[in-house]
Amino acid sequence: MTVVGASPPLPVRDKSGVRARAEGTLSPMLTRLADERATGVLVREHGTLHLAEGHVLHAESPLAPGLDVLLAAHDALTPAGPLLDAGLLPTGALELCQLGALYDAGYFVLAPSSTPGHFRYGTVPGPAPLRPVPVTALERETLRRRALLHRIWPDPAIDSAPLIRADPAAAPPVTWRRRAVLERVDGVRTAPDIARELGRKAFHTLVDLRRLAAAGFVAPGTPVPGPAPPAPPSLLQVTDPDIALLKRLRDALEAL
């Protein structure tokens, strides 16, 4: 009698690492690209992430001022003139500016999206930043920022709607930073508009605006309704002569 030995048990995949990555994951596609050490550009609804070997080199979003805007605002406050053009900006300060701009834009890129993202494989153009950022670090910082904004004021409409002042004539006792933000609330500007005009990081502007909203000084404005679209014509109201002729022909055929 031939004895057939039992087959060795199949290896069980350890899902603890996968589960750990899934907790707090903002973009499954981005997580997969990080695991693949992919290079290219991830395009999402609110901006793009440039990846190299699975790390984030650069982030850009129309909702966040770019590094050039932030440095220009810094130069305007510096009596010595443009530090970056003159090569006078210390390496550590430049690195902090780059990281700040990356996290600022990345926050909006990783915002909830109504459309799927797509990835273009290839070489990322342009100079590399001083320190690439791991995907996990960007996601962790984005989640931290979301939680902070929610604690300050839970209504996210402040972040994107045209803003109005609760009492335009009042002069609330606020810091000079928030006063500069409040002075630009006019019923038309949004939070990204104010950040870009002031040359400040968009997230810091969101913090100021949510604190102003929590204090009752700022509220989202009501969009002005546009003209209602015309109602589609009813078949009973059609007066086209061709339609009328067809109806007469139908009636004549039915009478035969």
Q: Profile the chain (256 residues) by mean pLDDT over runs of 10 residues.
A: 40 38 71 95 95 94 91 61 55 83 96 91 70 93 97 94 84 86 94 95 96 93 59 46 60 60
How far is it, in rounded angstroms, from Cα 51 to Cα 122?
9
Report how far residue 63's alpha carbon sits from residue 113's, in angstroms, rounded to the nearest whole number. 14
Residue type, 85: D
Listed by start position, the domains of the chain span: 28-152, 156-220
DSSP state at residue 52: E
Residue among 176, 186, 188, 199 at smallest CA distance from 64: 199
Residue 46 · residue 63 · CB < 8 Å: yes
99: amino acid identity, one letter: L
Q: What pLDDT score does 56 carry?
A: 95
pLDDT (0 to 100) of residue 174: 84
pLDDT score recorded for residue 207: 97
- Do 113 and 30 touch, CB atoms closer than 8 A? no
Chain Cα centroid distance, residue 230: 34
pLDDT of residue 63: 96
Predicted pLDDT of residue 253: 59
